[in-house]
């Protein structure tokens, strides 16, 4: 860079001077130049050992950002993508906030994986200042824990909207219903925001209709205008899928 001001930058490249105008409606990301409306900064936060880094690893894999999944303390010794420090790989915890990106539906998603240990909560504080939204991860076994409450307060302080992801449903002792109840009581959030309840009910009905099209028993109940119970739906799903 030879010269830079508020409207342009002059660059020396291959012996030639080139002036480039700033476009205030776009930003340069790791994946290229994107309009501001197609860039998202998303944080992932939780109590320690709730599975933030593991969740991030899956997001990166299923969006095509990485080719292989590596566990936080996997037998291959590689470690998760977001654990760049040697101490993080040894301890299996996040010490320093780490950032990466992925692409989804023509949007550049910048992901910030934050520490869950109370000793490194200042890292969460710093990350929240630049976020458009966040994912608050709950462990299905531990539910709402002390650092969950701290992160919730921090998100409120910086007006960061977030959704809750209940992780580790396959663990022994997992109880997602208890986690939802704790979420409602301790951090005072419902599983479905009031503004979306009507739409959620419509979407649920669409799902029931899809299952009814595949399952004869449920289809008959649907034609007779009977309301299937949760148990009826579970049986139908297990039978057909």
**Domains of the chain by residue range:** 38-191, 199-240
Q: Does domain 38-191 have CATH number 3.40.50.300?
A: yes
Task: Give the span between the Cα atoms of 162 and 136, in whole angstroms.
Answer: 7
pLDDT at 4: 46
Sign of CA dihedral 57, 62, 66, 70: positive
Q: Residue 116, SS3?
A: coil
Task: Give the span between the Cα atoms of 190 and 107, in whole angstroms.
Answer: 29
pTM: 0.66
pLDDT at 104: 87
Sign of CA dihedral 76, 53, 141, 118: positive
pLDDT at 118: 66
pLDDT at 204: 85
Structure tokens at 155: 């998100």
Q: Which positions ≥6 away from 179 have C-beta within 8 Å?
A: 138, 139, 140, 143, 144, 166
Q: Within the chain, which residues score under 70 in pLDDT?
A: 1-34, 72-96, 116-120, 240-241
């Amino acid at each position: 860079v030879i010269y830079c001001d508020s409207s342009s930058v002059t660059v020396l490249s291959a012996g030639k001077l080139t002036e480039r105008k700033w476009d205030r409606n776009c930003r340069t990301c790791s994946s290229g130049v994107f309009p501001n409306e197609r860039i998202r900064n998303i944080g992932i936060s939780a109590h320690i050992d709730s599975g933030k880094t593991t969740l991030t690893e899956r997001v990166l894999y299923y969006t095509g950002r990485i080719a292989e999944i590596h566990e936080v303390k996997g037998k291959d010794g590689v470690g998760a993508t977001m654990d760049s420090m040697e101490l993080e790989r040894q301890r299996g915890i996040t010490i320093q906030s780490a950032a990466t990106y992925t692409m989804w539906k023509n949007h550049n998603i910048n992901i910030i994986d934050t520490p869950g240990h109370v000793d490194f909560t200042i890292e969460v504080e710093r990350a929240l200042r630049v976020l458009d939204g966040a994912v608050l991860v709950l462990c299905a076994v531990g539910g709402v824990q002390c650092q969950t409450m701290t992160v919730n307060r921090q998100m409120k302080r910086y007006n960061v909207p977030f959704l809750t992801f209940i992780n580790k449903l396959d663990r022994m002792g997992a109880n997602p219903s208890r986690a939802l109840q704790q979420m409602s009581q301790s951090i005072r959030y419902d599983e479905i925001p009031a503004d979306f309840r009507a739409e959620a009910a419509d979407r649920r009905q669409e799902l029931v209709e899809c299952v009814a099209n595949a399952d004869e028993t449920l289809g008959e109940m649907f034609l007779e205008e009977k309301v299937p119970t949760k148990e009826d739906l579970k049986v139908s799903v297990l039978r057909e899928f």
